[in-house]
Amino acid sequence: MMDNSVGFSEPNPHSACGHHVLGDDCRFCSIRRLSICSALDQEELSFLEGMSGDSVFEEKSTLFREEDESISVYNVTSGVVRLVRSLPDGRRQITGFALPGDFLGLALQKQWKFSAEAVTDVKACRFKRSTFDDFSEQKPHLMKRMHEFATHELSLAQDHMVLLGRLTAEEKIASFLMVMKRRWTRVEGHELGLIRLPMGRQDIADYLGLTIETVSRVINQMQRDRRLVIVPDGIRFIDAAYFEQHAIA
Amino acid sequence: MMDNSVGFSEPNPHSACGHHVLGDDCRFCSIRRLSICSALDQEELSFLEGMSGDSVFEEKSTLFREEDESISVYNVTSGVVRLVRSLPDGRRQITGFALPGDFLGLALQKQWKFSAEAVTDVKACRFKRSTFDDFSEQKPHLMKRMHEFATHELSLAQDHMVLLGRLTAEEKIASFLMVMKRRWTRVEGHELGLIRLPMGRQDIADYLGLTIETVSRVINQMQRDRRLVIVPDGIRFIDAAYFEQHAIA
DNA sequence: GCCCTCCTTTGATTTGCATCAATGCTGTCG
DNA sequence: CGACAGCATTGATGCAAATCAAAGGAGGGC
């Protein structure tokens, strides 16, 4: 719908990295097509832009904590965020990684139910929750879009439950790599030879319900078996068919 | 808001079990307060009632399969439904149990993403998806209510991920029992000494990412340790403090 | 009542992943 | 450059839960 000319990955007039600098001009937002904003027309976009501001979070910083009140909601525009649930004794489960285009704040509640931590430097479009809620209350198609996002998340959550409850370590890793490949391809707009893994091994472990040692062992075994090569910032598939076969969902 | 006099659990004129017989009269629906319908006013309720029909599914029957088109959506009014994701090789993960008041069909998509199977005899209020979608499209507060349900589900899904990824067998069982206690109390409107477990051990295992043997062993060990007693159709806590302490989330 | 089926329990054994324990690698800062 | 910090890798060992294997109920049909 409407202006679809935003798919460029060349640098645009507004930023050096090829991604939009927010609070700036939604028309040049390279991840708009992926985001909740794609439900909006030009006028609504302008209005929303007026009430947005941009946030920058540096690597390892915290966007918000589980126990915090959710004063703002965010649209990630660049970088990667890990969504974390922690137990009192320090065990943690990463419930997801937010990539550009992902929205944080779907729940219409005052309190966050998870922490969000910047895995890399992160840019996000920020809205005051109360203003955003009022706006979505008046825009049924925005509410619908948020609902679609929520039910999509729910379906992903169910995939993840299958992974956590029923897959072996090898299947977990293979599935994770396939998912990351698919997601990056969608975000970048085209397939890269490389599968970016900006998160550390410990994060992968906490996402898959494994230990760091097991993640390391399995990935390195896959390399020894010539299924993939480990490269800086990620991995590269050698035997794509192997992953197609072992990844579930 | 509006009529809140529906909280009775005494038999009502419409059914012997104290639960509403559907397609009948929403005004007497004992689970309305728990369901999506609580967002509706009298007029909307009447309209919705006109487009609803009631379904009865007997124990072990299938409401719908993962691969089916979702022609109808359901509001469970009595009984328990298991929501299942299956792998090609037969492994399964139960992603949730639907109890009275729970809605099946939040996703605005044509295809189910999971199977639904009656654990007990089940009654449900059925709506034609297309009609229901049209209606919710025109009723922003119904859409909002569905969105609230979806984000609540999402939060429960995250709880479940922590459970599957990071808890021990003992913690999983303790958490499961606490959750069932809470949920039944909400549905029944008052606390029962008994915690109903209408699902079999295999279902509990597939919900918790364990084997049937482990579920059996842990529960029986808890009985030997005088934490609970196993009774027909469920269990009864002896040492409630133990469960408060070991259940997570 | 008795058999048959289905589900649950219990026991013996195995195993996949965790844990414990170094060692290696990379980047950075004095 | 060398030391240190912060991951990642690798190896040795342990253990929780899976698997394999029977044996118990409980309910239903004849």
The answer to whether B104 touches B67, Cβ cutoff 8 Å, is no
Q: Which of B66, B138, B154 to mutate to test the interface with A (most CBs of A within 10 A)?
A: B154
Q: Output the tens digit of pLDDT for each of chain B's 249 residues.
A: 333 333 333 334 444 444 444 446 888 899 999 999 999 999 999 998 999 999 999 999 999 999 999 999 999 999 999 999 999 999 999 999 999 999 999 999 999 999 999 999 999 999 999 999 999 999 999 999 999 999 999 999 999 999 999 999 999 999 999 999 999 999 999 999 999 999 999 999 999 999 999 999 999 999 999 999 999 999 999 999 999 999 997
Contact A154 B155 (CB under 8 A): no
Question: How far lies A182's CA from each of A9, A54, A148, in Å?
Answer: 18, 27, 19
Q: What is the mean pLDDT of residues A37-62?
A: 93
Q: Three-state SS for B230?
A: strand
Instruction: List all residues of chain A from 8 to 67 with a beta carbon under 8 Å from chain B.
Output: none
Contact check, Cβ <8 Å, A144/B114: no
Task: Collect all residues of chain B within an 8 Å Cβ-Cβ radius of residue A157.
Answer: 154, 157-158, 160-161
Q: Does the beta-carbon distance from A147 to B95 stay under 8 Å?
A: no
- Among the partner-chain residues A113, A154, A162, the one whose CB lies closest to the CB of B85 is A162
> Which helix (H) or strand (E) is B173 found in, with range?
helix B169-188
User: Which residue of chain B comes nearest to A154, CA vs CA?
Assistant: B154
pLDDT for A218 beyond 60 = yes
Q: What is the DSSP string of A164-214?
A: HHH--HHHHHHHHHHHHHHHHHHHHSS--SEEE--S-HHHHHHHHT--HHH
CA distance A78 to chain B (A): 24
Structure-token pair, residue B123: 């009654």
pLDDT above 80: residue A126: yes
- Residue A146 near chain B (CB below 8 Å): yes
CA B116 vs CA A68, B59, B94, B163: distances in Å: 36, 12, 10, 22
Phi, psi of A93 (to 5 degrees): -125, 125
Å between A52 CA and nearest CA of chain B: 22
Q: What is the pLDDT of residue A19?
A: 47
The pLDDT tens digits for A140-178 are 999 999 999 999 999 999 999 999 999 999 999 999 999
Q: Calculate how close chain B gets to A149, using CA atoms only, in Å.
A: 10
Q: Which residues of B touch A148 (CB under 8 A)?
A: 108
pLDDT at A2 exceeding the cut of 60? no
Cβ of residue B213 near strand C, that is under 7 Å?
A: yes
Does residue B59 approach strand C to less than 7 Å at its CB?
no
Asked whether residue A15 carries a pLDDT value surpassing 80, the answer given is no
Give the whole-angstrom CA distance, residue B137 versus residue B141: 10
Bases of strand D lying below 7 A from some protein CB = 7-12, 16-21, 27
Task: Provide the token pair at B140.
Answer: 């922003």
- Overall average pLDDT of the A84-89 stretch: 97
| Alpha carbons A147 and B154: distance in angstroms, whole number | 11
**Quick one: angle between helices A201-208 and A169-188, nearest 10?**
110
Hey, are the CB atoms on B146 and A147 less than 8 Å from each other?
yes
Distance between A161 CA and the closest CA of chain B, angstroms? 6
A-contacting residues in B 163-202 (Cβ below 8 Å): 164-166
Residue A7 — pLDDT band, cuts 50, 70, 90? very low
CB of B142 closer than 8 Å to CB of B135: yes
Taking a contact as any Cβ pair under 8 Å apart, which residues of chain B between 70 and 129 contact chain A? 85, 87, 91-93, 95, 106-109, 113-114
A209 sits within 7 Å of strand C by its CB? yes
Spanning CA of B72 to C1' of D18, the rounded length in angstroms is 39
Joined tokens for residue A199: 């998160």
Q: Is the pLDDT of residue A11 over 60?
A: no
Residues A22, A127: contact at Cβ < 8 Å?
Answer: no
d(C-alpha B210, C-alpha A189), whole Å: 40
Cβ distance B150 to A155 less than 8 Å, yes or no, reads no
Predicted confidence band of residue A24 (pLDDT cuts 50, 70, 90): low
Name the one residue in this structure whose structure tokens are 């703002």. A72
- Which residues fall within 8 angstroms of residue A189, CB to CB, at 6 or more apart? A7, A9
pLDDT at residue A23 greater than cutoff 80 = no
Contact between chains at A162 and B93 (C-beta distance less than 8 A) = yes
Distance (Å) from the alpha carbon of A5 to chain B's nearest alpha carbon: 27
The tokens describing B201, both together, are 């051990």
Displacement of CA A119 from its chain's centroid (Å): 11
Kindly determine whether the C-beta of residue B212 is less than 7 Å away from any atom of nucleic acid strand C: yes
Decide if pLDDT at A249 tops 90: no
- Taking the Cβ of residue A149 and every Cβ of chain B, the question of whether any pair is shorter than 8 Å is answered with no
Q: What pLDDT does residue A8 have?
A: 37
Average pLDDT taken over every residue of chain A: 91
Least confident of A103-107, A234-238, B4-8, B38-42: B4-8
- Domains recognised in chain A with CATH numbers: 26-163 (2.60.120.10), 168-246 (1.10.10.10)
Closest partner CB to B140 (pick from A143, A150, A206):
A143
